[in-house]
Amino acid sequence: MARVTVEDCVLKVPNRFELVLVAAQRAREITAGAELTLDRDDDKNPVVALREIADEAVPLDRLQDSLIRGMQKHVEIDEPEEAPELESNLFGVAEALGVAGMGEDIEEDEVAEDEELAEDMLSVEDEDDAGLADLPEELPEELPDADTESFEDDAP
Protein backbone atom coordinates (compact mmCIF):
# COMPACT_ATOMS: atom_id res chain seq x y z
CA MET A 1 0.00 0.00 0.00
CA ALA A 2 2.86 2.42 0.75
CA ARG A 3 4.21 2.16 -2.78
CA VAL A 4 0.87 3.18 -4.26
CA THR A 5 0.64 5.96 -1.69
CA VAL A 6 4.06 7.33 -2.66
CA GLU A 7 3.10 7.28 -6.33
CA ASP A 8 -0.11 9.14 -5.50
CA CYS A 9 1.78 11.69 -3.40
CA VAL A 10 4.33 12.43 -6.14
CA LEU A 11 1.44 13.85 -8.14
CA LYS A 12 0.74 16.32 -5.29
CA VAL A 13 4.39 17.01 -4.32
CA PRO A 14 6.58 16.50 -7.41
CA ASN A 15 9.91 16.61 -5.57
CA ARG A 16 10.44 13.30 -3.74
CA PHE A 17 12.85 14.84 -1.24
CA GLU A 18 10.33 17.50 -0.30
CA LEU A 19 7.68 14.79 -0.07
CA VAL A 20 9.80 12.89 2.44
CA LEU A 21 10.28 16.01 4.56
CA VAL A 22 6.61 16.99 4.50
CA ALA A 23 5.44 13.42 5.23
CA ALA A 24 7.91 13.15 8.11
CA GLN A 25 6.62 16.44 9.54
CA ARG A 26 3.03 15.19 9.38
CA ALA A 27 4.06 11.87 10.96
CA ARG A 28 5.68 13.82 13.82
CA GLU A 29 2.50 15.80 14.27
CA ILE A 30 0.45 12.59 14.40
CA THR A 31 2.86 11.14 16.96
CA ALA A 32 2.51 14.33 19.01
CA GLY A 33 -1.26 13.81 19.12
CA ALA A 34 -2.67 15.69 16.13
CA GLU A 35 -6.09 14.56 14.94
CA LEU A 36 -6.18 12.12 12.03
CA THR A 37 -8.14 13.20 8.97
CA LEU A 38 -8.45 9.60 7.68
CA ASP A 39 -9.02 6.22 9.29
CA ARG A 40 -5.81 4.61 10.51
CA ASP A 41 -6.58 1.08 9.20
CA ASP A 42 -3.72 -0.36 11.30
CA ASP A 43 -1.17 1.74 9.38
CA LYS A 44 1.83 3.32 11.00
CA ASN A 45 2.16 7.10 11.28
CA PRO A 46 4.33 7.62 8.15
CA VAL A 47 1.88 5.66 5.99
CA VAL A 48 -1.06 7.59 7.42
CA ALA A 49 0.79 10.84 6.69
CA LEU A 50 1.38 9.79 3.07
CA ARG A 51 -2.26 8.79 2.66
CA GLU A 52 -3.38 12.16 4.03
CA ILE A 53 -1.07 14.00 1.62
CA ALA A 54 -2.30 11.90 -1.33
CA ASP A 55 -5.95 12.59 -0.48
CA GLU A 56 -5.20 16.27 0.19
CA ALA A 57 -6.72 15.88 3.65
CA VAL A 58 -4.09 18.19 5.15
CA PRO A 59 -3.02 21.52 3.67
CA LEU A 60 0.50 21.24 2.22
CA ASP A 61 1.25 24.92 2.81
CA ARG A 62 0.71 24.53 6.55
CA LEU A 63 2.93 21.43 6.67
CA GLN A 64 5.69 23.19 4.73
CA ASP A 65 5.52 26.24 7.00
CA SER A 66 5.67 24.14 10.17
CA LEU A 67 8.57 22.16 8.67
CA ILE A 68 10.49 25.36 7.96
CA ARG A 69 9.79 26.74 11.43
CA GLY A 70 10.99 23.47 12.95
CA MET A 71 14.28 23.59 11.06
CA GLN A 72 15.03 27.25 11.74
CA LYS A 73 17.49 28.00 14.48
CA HIS A 74 17.19 30.97 16.79
CA VAL A 75 19.74 33.57 15.76
CA GLU A 76 20.74 35.89 18.56
CA ILE A 77 21.30 39.50 17.57
CA ASP A 78 24.50 40.99 18.97
CA GLU A 79 23.79 44.00 21.10
CA PRO A 80 26.32 46.16 22.93
CA GLU A 81 27.04 44.97 26.44
CA GLU A 82 26.12 47.16 29.36
CA ALA A 83 28.40 45.62 31.98
CA PRO A 84 29.97 48.84 33.39
CA GLU A 85 26.56 50.46 33.80
CA LEU A 86 25.20 47.31 35.38
CA GLU A 87 27.96 47.20 37.99
CA SER A 88 27.45 50.82 38.96
CA ASN A 89 23.70 50.25 39.16
CA LEU A 90 24.18 47.23 41.41
CA PHE A 91 26.39 49.14 43.79
CA GLY A 92 24.04 52.10 43.68
CA VAL A 93 21.11 49.82 44.52
CA ALA A 94 22.98 48.28 47.42
CA GLU A 95 23.85 51.69 48.80
CA ALA A 96 20.31 52.97 48.26
CA LEU A 97 18.86 50.00 50.11
CA GLY A 98 21.16 50.68 53.02
CA VAL A 99 23.13 47.47 52.78
CA ALA A 100 26.16 48.35 54.83
CA GLY A 101 29.47 46.59 54.99
CA MET A 102 29.60 45.11 51.50
CA GLY A 103 33.19 46.26 51.05
CA GLU A 104 34.11 45.31 54.63
CA ASP A 105 33.33 41.64 54.03
CA ILE A 106 35.72 41.58 51.09
CA GLU A 107 38.51 43.16 53.14
CA GLU A 108 37.97 40.68 56.01
CA ASP A 109 38.11 37.76 53.56
CA GLU A 110 41.39 39.04 52.09
CA VAL A 111 42.93 39.38 55.57
CA ALA A 112 41.83 35.83 56.47
CA GLU A 113 43.31 34.48 53.24
CA ASP A 114 46.60 36.27 53.90
CA GLU A 115 46.77 34.78 57.40
CA GLU A 116 46.10 31.28 56.10
CA LEU A 117 48.75 31.71 53.43
CA ALA A 118 51.30 32.84 56.03
CA GLU A 119 50.50 29.80 58.21
CA ASP A 120 50.91 27.48 55.23
CA MET A 121 54.26 29.03 54.35
CA LEU A 122 55.46 28.50 57.93
CA SER A 123 54.48 24.85 57.83
CA VAL A 124 56.29 24.40 54.50
CA GLU A 125 59.41 25.99 55.95
CA ASP A 126 59.22 23.67 58.99
CA GLU A 127 59.00 20.65 56.68
CA ASP A 128 61.98 21.87 54.67
CA ASP A 129 64.03 22.37 57.83
CA ALA A 130 63.22 18.85 59.02
CA GLY A 131 64.30 17.32 55.70
CA LEU A 132 67.56 19.30 55.51
CA ALA A 133 68.71 18.24 58.97
CA ASP A 134 69.72 14.80 57.65
CA LEU A 135 71.99 16.22 54.93
CA PRO A 136 75.63 17.15 55.53
CA GLU A 137 76.25 20.86 55.73
CA GLU A 138 78.94 20.91 53.02
CA LEU A 139 79.31 18.75 49.95
CA PRO A 140 82.77 17.76 48.72
CA GLU A 141 83.93 20.01 45.92
CA GLU A 142 85.24 17.22 43.68
CA LEU A 143 83.76 13.80 43.42
CA PRO A 144 85.88 10.95 42.10
CA ASP A 145 84.87 10.16 38.55
CA ALA A 146 85.20 6.40 38.31
CA ASP A 147 83.59 6.11 34.88
CA THR A 148 86.09 8.39 33.10
CA GLU A 149 89.07 6.58 34.59
CA SER A 150 87.85 3.21 33.31
CA PHE A 151 87.35 4.63 29.78
CA GLU A 152 90.86 5.99 29.72
CA ASP A 153 92.29 2.57 30.64
CA ASP A 154 90.34 0.79 27.92
CA ALA A 155 91.24 3.23 25.13
CA PRO A 156 93.84 1.90 22.55
* Mean pLDDT computed over 20-48: 91
**CATH code at 2-71:** 3.90.940.10
Question: What is the pLDDT, as a whole number, of residue 71?
Answer: 83
The number of C-alpha atoms within 13 Å of 53 and in the hemisphere containing its C-beta is 35
The beta-strand segments (E) located in the chain are none
**Angle ∠(147,151,154) on CA atoms, nearest 5:** 140
Question: What is the pLDDT, as a whole number, of residue 31?
Answer: 93
Q: Is this structure's pTM higher than 0.85?
A: no
Q: Does the pLDDT at position 127 exceed 70?
A: no
CB-CB contact of 88 with 40 (8 Å): no
